Amino acid sequence: MQFISYYTYRAQFFKSLIAHEVFSHHLCLIHVLRVMLSNSFHNPSYPLASSLPLPSITLKFLHYFQAHPILLAIMRKVWSCCPKNWKSFSSSCYFFSTDAKSWNSSQENCSRMEAHLVVINSKEEQDFLTQNMDKTAAYFVGLSDPEGHGHWQWVDQTPYNQSATFWHPGDPSHSEERCVIVNHRPTSLKWGWNDILCKNHQGSVCEMMNFYL
């Protein structure tokens, strides 16, 4: 069996991933390459036939990880990335937009990017979001009350948890206002949730899961 250089193998492997759209964004590729360059493995060669076509090389590599679930679990913790211009927090990626759209149009825009309007699950996530928001803007989130009966629903069907909400004092306030924004109120100097008309045009935050190899 012929041997190829570890570095040549690595280059071929990532070219194959790009060709097969495993990585849809160069930012992810750069992140993974950085991890591989900084790892502690110094094996000078891999016992792979140099004549193997790139798809076969890719499959051999992926099959190796599938056969070693512990190693795969470790790699998943390291090899995660977000699309360009998205921000990472915990296990999700976030896209902040100040383009003014209605709630429905904002959700459709997120869907086109294979995401959804953000679902806020904790104070830590709320704080991360507000740290990346413009105080002069307001942002739709994935919370709405379609019937106007106070039955708030998240777009991904996450149960509405009253103990993990961040309403401004006095909100929600009107049954006609069935969609939610996050905004900063100069009077209180605080960020919070505010119910507004869904047809109003505001910015938005989209959320998707981190990409894992």
Closest to 116 in 3D by CA, of 155, 158, 90: 155
- Asked if pLDDT for residue 14 goes beyond 70, the answer is no
Tell me the C-alpha distance between 118 and 74, whole Å. Answer: 27
Task: Give the model confidence (pLDDT) of 98-143 as tens digits.
Answer: 999 999 999 999 999 999 999 999 999 999 999 999 999 999 999 9
Q: What pLDDT is attached to residue 33?
A: 46
Give all domains of the chain, ordered by start, each with its CATH number: 4-81 (no CATH), 87-212 (3.10.100.10)
Cβ-in-10-Å burial (0-12, 13-18, 19+) of 105 comes to: middle
Segment among 1-5, 160-164, 172-176 with least mean pLDDT: 1-5
Q: What is the pTM of this model?
A: 0.67
CB 45 within 8 A of CB 5: yes
- Asked if pLDDT for residue 19 goes beyond 60, the answer is no
Share of the chain above pLDDT 70, in %: 61
Helices 6-19 and 26-37: crossing angle in degrees, nearest 10, is 160
Task: Give the model confidence (pLDDT) of 85-95 as tens digits.
Answer: 999 999 899 99
- Asked if pLDDT for residue 41 goes beyond 70, the answer is no
- Asked if pLDDT for residue 75 goes beyond 90, the answer is no
Task: Give the model confidence (pLDDT) of 141-166 as tens digits.
Answer: 999 999 999 999 999 999 999 999 99
Query: How sure is the predictor about 210, in pLDDT bands with cuts at 50, 70 and 90?
Result: confident
Tell me the C-alpha distance between 205 and 213, whole Å. Answer: 25
Share of the chain above pLDDT 90, in %: 58
Token digits of residue 198:
């869904």
Q: What pLDDT is attached to residue 68?
A: 63
- Asked if pLDDT for residue 30 goes beyond 50, the answer is no
